[in-house]
Amino acid sequence: MGATHYFQRYSKPENWLTNSTLLLFQYLYNHDSKRFEDFLEGLIGSEENISISIGPDFEQQVREYSSVPDGHIYQKGFRILIEAKPHGELREGQLLDHIEAFTDNNSERILLALTKEKVSEASSKTIKSKIKERYPQKSTNVNFATVTYEEIILNFEEVLHEHELTMKEIIADYDSLCQEKGVISLEKYRMLVAPTGDSYQENRKYDVYYDPIDRTHTRNFKYLGLYKNKAIRGVGEVKYIVACNLINGKLTAAEGYEEVFENLSDENKMAIIGIIRNTDYYDLSRGKRFFVVDKFHDTNFLKVSHGGLRKKKYMLLKEIDGFDVEISSQKLADLLGGKQWN
């Protein structure tokens, strides 16, 4: 039996992106409307200075005509119009025409343009200016934002909890669909940041990170960063991801990982055996997947936002000045050292 798909693959090219993205939004809204609000805030709110509220509001002592009730609960409406582009540039005329569809002045109104590559700030400002010129009465009540498919996926994952497996399957399928259609291909720019505690010293010693074999990783990534005490402390380039078992002193591949296992060097295998044998607080001998890196290099990439990192995070390195797709893990560690992230 094939894998379950939450997004169908057979619509016309001009429709599948819009339909699938709207369906993705609907899945999250139906799952948890407050989480959907957080998702939209993270996706477009901070960059565009848009305040989004789509859930119920609670107020006290609000005058209603001639009386003042003790409390008032009301539900705000919202409307999102999406213009999705798998390739090519946004057409200003098409975007301006979409504004006509916004008729309810009492709802949150967002015109969202989806693109493969980031739209320049200058182009975004030009479109906003033309919206204001053409619709002076509506422009103050219509929020326009541009986001990439990659940003949708990253922000969606950001609001999920570790145990929400169905929602993780949904975003993984949307990710898969976007990769199939060629609107995301950013593995070479991406680093997985993994929080570490007791395992940090062993991870560094053997240049191996591990997690349960059934834990999903929805994105492909080139680099792995070890996070500890409010900073990424070690960075390495991932060479192999392999699940294997150590039984009676013999290291063997887990089902489905035989080909990768055969490509491991003797040094790689000894590193995996070493971390299994020298980790006494977890049993790593079965049911674990190992991420073998070239080497975890020292760095000090500081997290400046409030709180620690409690779950894995995908980070796009192409946004960092000085990053190049051919950069070595050593030079990447040097580049990140002393820089900050939220």
In a domain, 291, yes or no: yes
Q: Are residues 234 and 315 in the same domain?
A: yes
In a domain, 162, yes or no: no
Q: What integer pLDDT is reported at residue 66 of this predicted model?
A: 47
Reported pTM:
0.62
Burial label, 184 (beta-carbon count in 10 A; 0-12, 13-18, 19+)? buried
Q: Are residues 193 and 114 in the same domain?
A: no
pLDDT in tens, 25-76: 999 999 998 898 889 888 886 555 566 666 665 655 445 444 546 665 656 6
User: Which pair of structure tokens corresponds to residue 98?
Assistant: 């979409």
Is the pLDDT at 1 greater than 50? The verdict is: no
Q: Are residues 209 and 285 in the same domain?
A: yes
Is the pLDDT at 129 greater than 80? The verdict is: yes
Q: Are residues 125 and 249 in the same domain?
A: no
**Residue 260 pLDDT level (bands cut at 50, 70, 90):** very high
Q: Which domain holds residue 197?
A: 186-341
Where is the domain boundary, 134, 153, 172?
A: 153
- Work out the average pLDDT over 311-327: 90
In a domain, 169, yes or no: no
Q: Are residues 252 and 295 in the same domain?
A: yes
Is the pLDDT at 320 greater than 70? The verdict is: yes
Q: What integer pLDDT is reported at residue 54 of this predicted model?
A: 67
Where is the domain boundary, 153, 175, 200?
A: 153
Query: Do residues 104 and 77 lie in contact, with contact meaning Cβ atoms separated by under 8 Å?
Result: yes
Comparison of pLDDT for 232 and 98, the residue scoring more: 232
In a domain, 105, yes or no: yes
Is the pLDDT at 11 greater than 70? The verdict is: no
Where is the domain boundary, 153, 178, 195?
A: 153
Q: What integer pLDDT is reported at residue 203 of this predicted model?
A: 98
Number of domains the chain is built from = 2
Q: Are residues 267 and 196 in the same domain?
A: yes
- Work out the average pLDDT over 218-244: 95
Q: Are residues 119 and 200 in the same domain?
A: no
- Work out the average pLDDT over 317-340: 94
Q: Are residues 147 and 204 in the same domain?
A: no
Is the pLDDT at 112 greater than 80? The verdict is: yes
Q: What integer pLDDT is reported at residue 91 of this predicted model?
A: 86
Point out the least confidently predicted range of 58-67, 236-245, 330-339.
Answer: 58-67
User: H helices within the chain, ranges in order?
Assistant: 13-31, 33-40, 46-48, 92-98, 121-134, 149-158, 165-180, 200-206, 258-263, 266-277, 329-336
- Please give the C-alpha separations between residue 147 and each of 48, 58, 144, 342, in angstroms, as whole numbers: 11, 31, 10, 19
In a domain, 5, yes or no: no
Range among 16-30, 78-92, 192-206 rated most confident: 192-206
Spatial distance between the Cα atoms of 137 and 199, rounded to a whole number of angstroms: 58
In a domain, 246, yes or no: yes
Q: Are residues 138 and 199 in the same domain?
A: no
In a domain, 129, yes or no: yes
Spatial distance between the Cα atoms of 17 and 26, rounded to a whole number of angstroms: 14
In a domain, 179, yes or no: no
For the chain, state the CA radius of gyration.
24
Spatial distance between the Cα atoms of 144 and 99, rounded to a whole number of angstroms: 10
Q: Are residues 70 and 207 in the same domain?
A: no
Is the pLDDT at 257 greater than 60? The verdict is: yes
**Residue 221 pLDDT level (bands cut at 50, 70, 90):** very high
**Residue 134 pLDDT level (bands cut at 50, 70, 90):** confident
From 136, 132, 82, 133, select the one nearest 109 (Cα to Cα): 82
Amino acid at 110: I
**Residue 245 pLDDT level (bands cut at 50, 70, 90):** very high
Is the pLDDT at 184 greater than 60? The verdict is: yes
Q: What integer pLDDT is reported at residue 217 of this predicted model?
A: 74
Q: Are residues 135 and 195 in the same domain?
A: no
Q: Are residues 326 and 191 in the same domain?
A: yes
- How much of the chain, in percent, has pLDDT values that exceed 70? 85
Comparison of pLDDT for 270 and 147, the residue scoring more: 270
Q: What integer pLDDT is reported at residue 309 of this predicted model?
A: 92
